Structure 1
Amino acid sequence: MSLYAELHRHLGGSVVPRVLWRYFQRNRPDLADRFSDYAEFEQFYTQPKSTLEEYLELHTLVESVQTKEALPYFIYRLIRGAYIFENLAYLELRYTPYYRTPERLTQTERIDAMAEIIEVVGRASQQSEYPVVTRQILCMHSRLPYEVNRATVELAAQYPDQVCGIDVAGGDAAYQERLDEFVQLYAQARSQNIKTTGHLYETENGCYPELLPYLMRIGHGIQIPLKHPELLKQVAARGQCLEICPTTYFQTGTLDEISQLKQVFNRCFDAGVDVAICTDNAGLHNVRLPFEYENLLTQDVIGFDGLRACQAAAFRHAFAWPHAEQPVSMISSLLKERERLVVSGG
């Protein structure tokens, strides 16, 4: 049995359609009543969108109900599914804490409330029944003011046991006018030993080389091998890993066919750039991480050697995996020790 590490999963997009629908029926009938039945809701929730911007609007629907009180409900079901159905040993959940605070509060009050959200997510993620190593990545956001994004970085430093890194999310076209802000915030994070990733080079509108030196991993990054392969040498030299989320690119209209990803993987492998396969928004896509691997394999995008390389890279680049080895090596060592004891009669 393979065990997986998931490095790029959004809390807002991780809720599977059936769980979200049941929550709406029980707690938000005003939202459930927009749809005639579950089938209509599932189609609305999971169908591909024309652009990244249209796709991101779905996050606002989920964020509006992921309140302090509701987060444990969603996270328990998320962790349970990750353990039982996906064989996850490690999971990094990313989200923008500001968007889980009450909208009725002032900006200052919402910033002050962000710490409690982090604590709620941290407690809810620790499920002894489903032992998945789980940490948070806090997302700055292209739609939020500098003060909120700065507070997000500062909170990441204050909660090192629960938060393993920061990210920047939101529509990537919106980064352009605020690059100096994000460069400053990422520099601050690195100076405080906060690990960094960022949604970058996902679409052709999101290509900002100014941010690359500050990232330890690159959220998506597919436009580097597709449109800017000259950057691969620098990416490899920095030891950066690309977080590739295959289904996303068809949900957002970024790519047309899965065969286009073959060039992404081939060029990365040839350049010595590590790739971690991820789901991004497993609920919105109605897909699980093992399927992403299987689909890439059966569609001849990668082979078994590439699959194993990506599995290993995910654990190697995990910001908070607590062991020197990935699970398969640990299990193999345990089995060899057991065989030794059996042979020796111990």
Structure 2
Amino acid sequence: MSQPSPSRDLRELPKAQLHLHLTGAMRPATLAELAGRYGIVVPPPLPTAAGTWGAFQDRYDASRTALRTPADIQRVIVEAATDDAADGCGWLEIQVDPTSYAPVFGGLEPALEAVLAGAAAAPIPVGVLVASSWRRSPSHAVTLARLAARYAGDGVVGFGLSNDERGASVADFAPAFTLARDAGLLAAPHSGFYTPATHVRDCVELLGASRIGHGTSAATDPVVVELLASRGVALEICPTSYPPFGVHELSAIPVTTFLAAGVPIAVSTDDPLLFGVGLAGQYEILRSSLGLTDEDLATIAAGGIQASAAPPAEKSRLLAEVTAWLDTPASNLCDD
């Protein structure tokens, strides 16, 4: 029997997790416990092969209603950070739209402050990215950008736009992103999941995006790929998010296209509650489905760290640890 190529333990590869939504970060057991406590009925998990955005949103919305107290929020963040740390994560950014939590918590500020308190209690450093929604008005995005700006330096590290990006005008959201960037926050809108490469381009050129949530459609346009590479705009690639919606099969995610062009990639989990795979598992998918080498995976990990909002000293430490991981001799993991 032939032996597999030697490979290193991906749980030991230092990483940054840059695309994780608060509700989607819940452990399934935590959701079950909280839903039982509050009498909430949550739709079943999504099918692994096919689904619809509506089905995803229904389960996500029901799960979000299980977070009703600051203690609930803190538990989710601490547990998510613990899980990511076990997978090699040294810096975590968690994304939240406080709008949906505001009615329960008494306003946007109390909701955001509950998230910040949870982040401060985590076992690894956690930054918070405030996100509006492509499905809400540009004026609402301005409101949330001002909120994020007030907490810049106090745990908020970025501003974004989440949800289904179809049908919204990118230019209309430029004022919100200008406010956020002027406050020193990184800009990280979702784009290029359902929308074409031109949408990704517009997010870079009109919103000043330094990262793009997903952005995989950019691979279809070499000019947009070059734009991302030349500006160092990182793509937050979440492998298990694509097959359920028919966006990509795992073997067709265009990671190699971006790597070859020098586009930074930040592998992330998006919503492990819904998609069922942790951070090291996402890297393992790139190894097994795309045939990426340990050198490729180290390049990706380093790109995510560089694209993060981690302080310079934290970045330097993690990057040195990535180099050390790659310098460690690979082992043959087959026992046969």
Query: What range is the shorter-chain TM-score in?
Result: 0.7 to 0.9
Given that 2:138 and 2:176 are in contact with CA atoms closer than 8 Å, whether structure 1 keeps it comes out as: no
Give the Cα–Cα distance (whole angstroms) in 2 for the partners of residues 328 and 267 of structure 1: 23
Query: What is the CA distance between 1:63 and its match in structure 2?
Result: 2.1
Alpha-carbon distance in 2 for matches of 1:322, 1:46:
39
Structure-2 residue corresponding to 1:57: 58
In the other structure, the counterpart of 1:193 is 184
Deviation at 1:81, TM superposition (A): 2.4
Cα distance 1:330–1:50, how it changes in 2: closer, same or farther (>3 A)?
closer
TM-score, with structure 2 as normaliser: 0.83
In 1, are the aligned partners of 2:189 and 2:213 still within 8 Å (CA)?
A: yes
Which sections of structure 1, spanning at least 5 residues, go unmatched? 33-40, 334-346
Look up the equivalent residue of 1:216 and give its one-letter code: S
**2:300 is equivalent to residue 289 of structure 1:** no
- Distance in 1, matches of 2:171 and 2:289, equals 41
Bigger Rg, structure 1 or 2: 1
1:14 aligns with one of 17, 25, 44: 25
> Aligned ranges for residues 149-188 of structure 1 at < 5 Å?
149-160=141-152, 161-176=154-169, 179-188=170-179
Normalised by the length of structure 1, the TM-score is 0.81
Aligned to 2:78: 76
- Contiguous gaps of at least 5 residues in structure 2: 1-11, 325-336
Give the structure 1 partner of residue 45 of structure 2: 45
In structure 2, the partner of 1:318 is 308
Q: Secondary structure at 1:164's aligned position in 2?
A: strand
Q: Deviations over 1:99-137 (max 9, x none)?
A: 11117x9xxxx6xx111112111111223xx53110100
- Secondary structure of residue in 1 paired with 2:67: coil
Instruction: Report how far residue 31 of structure 1 moved.
Output: 2.0
Counterpart in the other structure of 2:237 = 244
Say if 1:330 and 1:268 are closer, same or farther in 2 by CA, change over 3 A.
Answer: closer
- Distance in 2 (alpha carbons) for counterparts of 1:332 and 1:172: 37
Paired letter, 1:28: Y
User: Once the 2 structures are TM-superposed, how far is the Cα of residue 254 of structure 1 from its aligned partner?
Assistant: 1.2
Q: Deviations over 1:227-251 (max 9, x none)?
A: 2222111111111111111000012
Would you say the 8 A contact 2:239–2:285 is kept in 1?
no
Q: Report SS of the residue matched to 2:26.
A: coil
**Percent sequence identity over matched residues?**
21
Q: Is the 8 A contact 2:91 2:125 kept in 1?
A: yes
- Which one-letter code corresponds to 1:296 in the other structure? L
Q: 2:213 aligns with which of 209, 219, 226?
A: 219
The structural deviation recorded for 1:266 is 2.0
Q: Of the candidates 132, 157, 175, which is equivalent to residue 140 of structure 1?
A: 132
Tell me the amino acid that sits aligned with residue 72 of structure 1.
Q
Superimposed CA distance per residue, residues 207-260 of structure 1 (whole angstroms, 9 cap, x where no aligned partner): 4232222100111110001x22221111111111111110000122212x2111
Whether 1:279 and 2:273 are equivalent positions in the alignment is: no
Of the three residues 28, 34, 37, the one matched with 2:38 is 28
